Amino acid sequence: MMRLPELGREELSARGQQIYDGIVASRGGVRGPFAALMHSPEVAGRAAHLGTYLRFETSLDPMTLQIVTLAVAREWDCQYEWTAHEPQAREASVRDDTIAAIKERRAPEGLTKEEAVVVRYVHELIRGHRVSQETFDQIEARFSPQELTDLTATIGFYSMVSCVLIAYQVQLASGVTPLLPI
């Protein structure tokens, strides 16, 4: 059970209801991190807006986006996020070996050169709170400035989402099998 109760639409202010309706319109419902964030509707709405860009309109290709998302979810050991994104990664043609390497904490070992630099960037930023010049140079050589900015913002966004999911103990929907060994 989530640590804070889920709020129904009727429990929100008029502005909160507008935000709630906007999230429903764009995502089909208010669940997961957005159910928790509705305790601050403005945060929920702004996070949903940013998430919509980073997930559906980003300059990153779908495969890179999903590799980044899985790497962040694994760094935070966020079951909800991993379980939501592993199937999406498969749909985006992320290799099974790549998914397994991230899941089993072997990455960047076993990844292609392109995958490895992305995962290393995630690891350095989250684990060490710094990015080495070598890794930055490699990532900058692979991505345009906009892609690099979208990549970095995606790491931050999914870190925030993971923090919300973990802190509020947001559970998987009933009947959903967890995909991340924790």
Helix, strand, coil percentages (3-state) for the chain, rounded to 5, are 70, 0, 30
Q: Give the pLDDT score at 111.
A: 97
Q: What SS3 class is residue 105?
A: coil
Q: Both tokens of residue 79?
A: 């079951």
Rounded to an integer, what distance in angstroms lies between the CA atom of residue 23 and that of residue 29? 7
What is the pLDDT, as a whole number, of residue 182?
84
The pLDDT score that the predictor gives to residue 41 is 98
Q: Do 155 and 130 belong together in one domain?
A: yes
132 assigned to some structural domain: yes
138: three-class secondary structure by DSSP: helix
Query: Domain check: are 48 and 111 in the same one?
Result: no
The answer to whether the CB of 33 falls within 8 A of the CB of 6 is no
Q: What average pLDDT does the structure give for the chain?
A: 97
- Token readout for 89 is 């990664």
Residue 1 has pLDDT above 90, yes or no: no
Q: Is the pLDDT of residue 91 over 90?
A: yes
Instruction: Count up the domains in the chain and report the number.
Output: 2
Query: In this predicted model, what pLDDT tens digit does every residue of 170-180 receive, in sequence order?
Result: 999 999 999 99
Give the domain extent around 18: 9-57
Same domain, 88 and 141: yes
Give the model confidence (pLDDT) of 11-56 as tens digits.
999 999 999 999 999 999 999 999 999 999 999 999 999 999 999 9
Q: What's the whole-number mean pLDDT along residues 143-157?
A: 98
Residue 177 lies in a domain: no
* 49, two tokens: 């807006």
* Assigned domain for 147 exists: yes
Q: Are residues 20 and 82 in the same domain?
A: no
Quick one: CA dihedral 158, 147, 41, 126, positive or negative?
positive
Q: Which two tokens stand for residue 74?
A: 């694994």
Provide mean pLDDT across the span 88-102: 98
80 and 44 together in one domain: no
Is pTM, for the whole model, over 0.85? yes
Are 105 and 51 members of one domain? no
Length of the chain, please?
A: 182
